[in-house]
Chains A and B, each alone.
Chain A
Amino acid sequence: MVRYNPTVLERPSSINEAAQLLKKWGSKARIVAGNTTIYELANQGGLDDVDTVIDLSKLNLNYITRYDGSLHIGAMTRFVELASSNLTGNDSYFAAKEAAMKLTPPQIRNMATIGGSACSGIPFYDMPVTLLAIDAEFHATSSDEGERTIKAEDFFIDYFVTTLRAEELLTEIVCPNKERSSSSFVKLGRTTIDFALVNAAVNITLEPKRNRMSEVRIALGAVAATPIRAKSAEDFLIGQEPSRENIIKAASLGLDFEPSPSLHASSKYKKRVIPILVRDALFAAVNRVLRT
């Protein structure tokens, strides 16, 4: 039974106005970005207490720009725009484009937003795990406390829960630029249009003058309540050459805990596929760095 029956539609035309509306309505309000998660959440009874929807489509938060080398993605940017952006494998944050391109079907790419994907707090979505790997920062604003910046590590808290408070609004996601760095995203689903059974994103950075890795970030999705980093594998690779042997060894280290089972993939199955996904993601990222 659909119990979702909002009675007020707010369409703010500025970030300030949106922040004030969020303060006014609090947890009675729900922000609508691409709307692709809203109805399903409502069907599950997750929006019973919501009577106001706040539509952000008039905020001009749909943009992708680069300054000081960093990539700035407006929270209302849709997957289709990121997928057709001019990012290349030379960019340390290339995985963001790769994840957007791999999101299917095309109808969802035309609707879903990057900010909505992050704020849904759903650990098997493709963008959260990618943003964690590429070291993204989240810019949020509220009428009482103004702006704050949140690291990806601190953004995702639990299933459906992010660190954002009810009166806070995500405005922009900033992905830092790193020299001699690239990233990749890989996904295992039952079919290409399905949600991930497990997904992985990595970002590797080489030292300025020699082919040793100075920074390695490996993130996995659909294995815990939030996207999470594989620290043992990262630690193993730092200071090492990005060789085939090192990558396979690191990937075999997997996670430091049991991955959570889901309807279509047991914990045991996930433990078997994680090393393969991590290996493939590392190979792809390393190839992109060494090619340039």
Chain B
Amino acid sequence: MKTILNVNDESYEVEAALGTSLCDVIRETIGLTGVKKGCDSGGCGMCTVLMDKHPIFSCMTPFWRAENKKILTVEGLADQDRLSKLQESFVQNHAPQCGYCTPAMLLVAKALLDSNPHPTDGEIRSALGGVLCRCTGYNPYVNAIMQAAREPRSK
């Protein structure tokens, strides 16, 4: 099936078999490999993308479900070479360790802060609940999001 997907405000014409997940299409067809593939069954959260601003598992979503929606991946967060406030805060707090879960963490954090600019510690932890960090480095992520929430945001 052929269709057009809007990813990070760019249109991509893609063609894939009907059973193909959005995750595979973004990674393999479009070539944006910031979206990671972990368990491929909705258990780890690595494949999280924002669809119309809400976090979803792209490994569980058929790519054609993203038609007429806006998809955001980690590649869409920075403004050219300038990192977003959230990304800067992740760097300053040494939040990423191996980095594999970082794209998903950034996206769930962005969705949280866009809908709730001043979340509590509990709200942050709930939002991160669907993304596993196998380095178990959750606290630096929480701190980074707290810091980003305190600072005036440009993006």
Please list the residues of chain A having a beta carbon within 8 angstroms of any beta carbon in chain B.
Answer: 2, 4-9, 32, 35-36, 38-40, 42-43, 53, 55, 57, 80, 104-108, 110-111, 192-193
Contacts and interface: CB of A to CB of B under 8 A. Distances in A.
A35 B61 CA distance: 6
Q: Top 3 A-B pairs ranked by shortest CB distance?
A: A105-B130, A110-B54, A107-B130
Given A2-B19, A4-B19, A106-B108, A9 B130 contact: no
20 contacts: A5-B17, A8-B18, A9-B1, A9-B18, A35-B61, A36-B42, A36-B57, A39-B40, A39-B59, A40-B41, A40-B42, A104-B129, A106-B55, A106-B108, A106-B126, A107-B42, A107-B57, A108-B130, A111-B57, A111-B61
Contacts of B130: 104-108, 193
A135 B150 CA distance: 47
A39 B21 contact: yes
B115 to A, nearest CB: 11
Nearest to A50: B19
A9 B17 CA distance: 11
A42 B57 contact: no
A278 B127 CA distance: 29
Contacts of B45: 105, 107
B118 to A, nearest CB: 18
Contacts, number: 71
A284 to B, nearest CB: 20
Contacts of B48: 107
Interface residues of B, number: 27
A10 to B, nearest CB: 11
B94 interface: no
A55 B3 CA distance: 16
Nearest to A193: B129
A4 B41 CA distance: 14
Nearest to B40: A39
A5 B129 CA distance: 32
Given A6-B19, A40-B41, A107-B45, A192 B54 contact: no
Interface of B: 1, 17-19, 21, 40-42, 45, 48, 51, 54-57, 59-62, 64-65, 108, 126-127, 129-131
Contacts of A107: 42, 45, 48, 55-57, 108, 130
Nearest to A52: B18
A43 B42 CA distance: 13
Contacts of A193: 129-130
Contacts of B62: 32, 35, 53
Nearest to A40: B41
Contacts of A40: 41-42
A39 B129 contact: no
A57 B45 CA distance: 24
B18 A7 contact: yes
A255 B18 CA distance: 44
A250 B40 CA distance: 43
Contact of A9 (B40, B51, B64): B64
